[in-house]
Every structure is written in structure tokens, then in C-alpha cells.
Amino acid sequence: MDRNFEETMMFQVKAEDYNEARDVLLKVYDALKEKGYNPINQIVGYLLSGDPAYITSHNNARSMIRKIERDELVEELVKQYLDK
């Protein structure tokens, strides 16, 4: 295979390799923990009620979590919990 070493090759992550819901949950968890909240309780409160007040605005966590549908977040949690 003859390559042109003057050009930059592009690397792209496959869509299934990046999981936005997981990434957001981890970032929100960290932000809640940094602010002294119990992250599990706060995330459960948000998932059950839909009220973003359960999520801190620290590190943009509230804005991030609102961009993902709650059913997608629940699906990700169930997948991670049951995945062997």
C-alpha cells in the first residue's frame, strides 16, 4: 500500500465506541460529589422527578444532564448494571 506521508490521516471513533449518556453520568456524578452531595440520591431524584434542581450547576452538570433524555440515562444505568 502506497501512502502519501505528507497528508495527515484522520482517526474517528465509531459512534458505538463513544457513549454520551455514560460520559454525562460520570461527569455529573463527579460534580455532585465535589459539591458534597450524595450523587446516587441526587441522580435518582432527577431521574424519577425530571426536576433539574436535583443536579448541581457546578462544572455545567445540570446543563449536561438535561441534554440527554432521562430514558437514555436509565437505559445506560441498567445496561451497565446488568452487563456481564
The three three-digit cell numbers of residue 41, written as one number: 440520591
Q: According to the model, what pLDDT value does residue 32 have?
A: 98
Along the 84 residues of the chain, how does pLDDT read in single tens digits? 566 677 887 776 565 567 899 999 999 999 999 999 999 999 999 999 999 999 999 999 999 999 999 999 999 999 999 985
Give me the helix-helix angle, 20-34 and 70-82, nearest 10°. 90
pTM score: 0.77
* Alpha helices (H) in 17-59, listed in sequence order: 20-34, 39-49
Q: According to the model, what pLDDT value does residue 10 have?
A: 74
Q: According to the model, what pLDDT value does residue 67 have?
A: 96
Query: Residue 46 in contact with residue 54, Cβ under 8 Å?
Result: yes
